[in-house]
């Protein structure tokens, strides 16, 4: 393996003969040791299971960016995320643009290598939240998470009710106020799972650290003793 200076010179010469060699050179080298940790963390994440080879062989073709709806409306490029993730670029851990992705998975379905920027973004977002930086992006969902912990997935948390009435109008309000009666009439039962099922889910959330993470985001006013 040539030394770094020698490699740069070889790459310059190769680039004059074939511009695409620069892309190849910059995409198929191993991440620098200082940054390898982040690339390895992404590659080893279980969610990347079906995409590791694609992740490691991204050829920077840009098909993901050309198909990405978010890239059309913001300063955001899945191709660039794929590249920086492979480089183990630590600035990804403080990059707000990864929150522009809304997981439509178009990039994944179009990638000729089998990479998934959608999943890469999920891993990076999780790391951002773990380190505290990303909390500002998920704090708005705390009320949903509190309700999920307490009762399981069901209706809209009360805190959003006034805003939704304003957005959806009085007809929606009348429907919501009658929803439980209507469901009874139709024999559909509650929107929420049974209390036994909710308790089982809480056990899983306690064991996996979901509750602690919620508390670190200010859920239940930071009251660690909270129980539904």
Which residues make up the interface to ligand SF4 (CB under 6 A)?
A: 58-64, 68-70, 78-79, 82, 101-107, 111-113, 115, 117-118
Q: Nearest CA to 206 among 156, 127, 155, 150?
A: 150
What would the DSSP string read from start to end of 192-209? Answer: SPPHHHHHHHHHHHHHTT
Q: Is 152 left (phi over 0), alpha (psi -120 to 50) or beta?
A: left
Least distance to ligand SF4 from the beta carbon of 124, Å? 11
Shorter beta-carbon distance to ligand SF4: residue 102 or 141: 102
Least distance to ligand SF4 from the beta carbon of 208, Å? 25
Least distance to ligand SF4 from the beta carbon of 144, Å? 21
Residue 56 CB contacts under 8 Å (≥ 6 apart), including other chains: 43, 86
Q: CA torsion sign, 66 to 69 to 73 to 75?
A: negative
Shorter beta-carbon distance to ligand SF4: residue 118 or 219: 118
Shorter beta-carbon distance to ligand SF4: residue 20 or 105: 105
Q: Nearest CA to 68 among 122, 113, 119, 118?
A: 118
Residue 70 burial class via C-beta count within 10 angstroms: exposed 0-12, middle 13-18, buried 19 and up = buried
Least distance to ligand SF4 from the beta carbon of 117, Å? 5
Least distance to ligand SF4 from the beta carbon of 133, Å? 19
Strands (E), the chain: none
Least distance to ligand SF4 from the beta carbon of 53, Å? 11
Shorter beta-carbon distance to ligand SF4: residue 63 or 138: 63
Shorter beta-carbon distance to ligand SF4: residue 58 or 219: 58
Specify the DSSP class assigned to residue 88: T
Shorter beta-carbon distance to ligand SF4: residue 73 or 187: 73
59 — phi, psi (to 5°)?
A: -110, 15
């Amino acid at each position: 393996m040539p030394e770094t200076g020698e490699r740069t010179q070889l790459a310059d010469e190769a680039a004059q003969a074939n511009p695409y060699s620069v892309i190849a050179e910059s995409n198929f080298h191993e991440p620098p040791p200082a940054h390898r940790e982040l690339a390895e963390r992404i590659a080893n994440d279980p969610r990347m299971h079906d995409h590791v080879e694609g992740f490691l062989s991204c050829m920077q073709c840009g098909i993901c960016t050309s198909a990405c709806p978010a890239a059309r409306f913001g300063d955001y490029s899945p191709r660039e995320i794929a590249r920086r993730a492979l480089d183990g670029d630590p600035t990804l851990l403080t990059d707000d643009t990864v929150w522009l992705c809304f997981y439509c998975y178009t990039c994944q379905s179009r990638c000729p290598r089998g990479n998934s920027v959608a999943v890469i973004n999920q891993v990076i977002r999780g790391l951002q939240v773990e380190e505290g930086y990303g909390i500002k992006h998920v704090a708005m969902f705390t009320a949903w998470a509190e309700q999920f912990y307490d009762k399981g997935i069901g209706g809209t948390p009360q805190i959003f009710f006034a805003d939704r009435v304003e957005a959806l109008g009085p007809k929606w309000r009348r429907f919501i106020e009658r929803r439980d009666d209507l469901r009874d009439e139709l024999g559909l039962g509650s929107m929420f799972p049974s209390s036994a099922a909710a308790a089982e889910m809480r056990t899983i959330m306690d064991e996996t650290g979901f509750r602690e993470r919620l508390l670190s985001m200010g859920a239940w006013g930071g009251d660690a003793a909270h129980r539904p």
